[in-house]
Amino acid sequence: MNFETIQFEVLEPGIGVLSLNRPRVYNSVNLQMLGELEELTEDLWRKSELNVIILKGNGDKGFCAGLDIKEAAKLSESWDARSFYMFQKRLARSVLRLRLIPQPVVCLVHGAAVGLGFSFVLASDIKIASLDARFCAAFINIGLGGADMACSYLLPRMIGAGRASELLLTGEFISSEEAYGLGMLSKVVERERLWESGVQMARLLNSKNPLGLALTKEAINMNLDAPSLEHALQMEDRNQALLFLRSKAGEPKSSRYF
């Protein structure tokens, strides 16, 4: 697939690498990147040969500065309320798409992860950051509400409502070490070890049963909203029974999703 604002490659069997590729503007998301991300995530549903995705930002400036504000400001001159609403829906669904692809996403963060970039981090399954990484919801700082791009859903579930409310209401930055202390990150490493750490994690995941990975991610997503422990157990029981039956059928550990 030919992209300009993102890059995608297969690192090795089972592992894909998605790179945000607008390094001169802090990998900010413009309409073209939004469309390319939509195209790629749609395709990842069909890529049963891929078990894990590494997500990163190209360049030294940072992971992702969020929405390309300059482009959005220019476009908004001709928008009415419906046009803005449809644009908002597309942006927000980019976070949902990342959450719902079957492959676990290992997100590698350096520099700033702001706004929509922050939401991409939250939507990822495993998050590894360098010591220089910084995080900011930012939405409240541009004159809009602080609850945006799935932050008000994902963040309280990750770090608790109290600190999540503070971050969303103030729009202030937090360091990678503070984010790790809050439970938002899996690991914090030196900048020069970020890629190595991400590949190591991706390889660990890739060594597992591929269908097991997909069903575990699905169960976690579904059970965030489970109305009771009984509902959560039903999801887990279904998945385990399915995997048991596949193993009894003699399917190899390396078998793909379908």
Could you read off the pLDDT of 4-26 as tens digits, one per residue?
999 999 999 999 999 999 999 99
Which has more confidence, 200 or 257? 200
Instruction: Compute the distance between CA of residue 220 and CA of residue 216 in angstroms, rounded to an integer.
Output: 6
Predicted model pTM: 0.93
pLDDT digits (tens, 9 = 90+) for 86-139: 999 999 999 999 999 999 999 999 999 999 999 999 999 999 999 999 999 999
Q: Which long-range contacts (CB under 8 A, 24 or more apart) does 203-206 make?
A: 203/15, 205/51, 205/52, 205/104, 205/106, 205/126, 206/14, 206/15, 206/51, 206/52
- Locate tokens 């590729």: which residue? 21
Check residues 246 and 222 and name the one with the higher pLDDT.
222
- Using pLDDT thresholds of 50, 70 and 90, give the confidence band for residue 255: very low
3-state secondary structure of 135: strand
Concatenating the DSSP letter of every residue in 212-230 gives HHHHHHHHHHHHTT-SSHH
Site of tokens 């939509």: 38
Taking 80 as the threshold, does the pLDDT of residue 189 lie above it?
A: yes
Pair type for strands 174-175 and 15-20: unpaired
Residue 60: exposure state from Cβ atoms within 10 A (0-12, 13-18, ≥19): exposed
What is the tens place of the pLDDT at every residue in 23-77?
999 999 999 999 999 999 999 998 889 999 999 999 999 999 999 999 988 988 8
In angstroms, the CA 248 to CA 240 distance is 12
The pLDDT assigned to 257 comes to 40
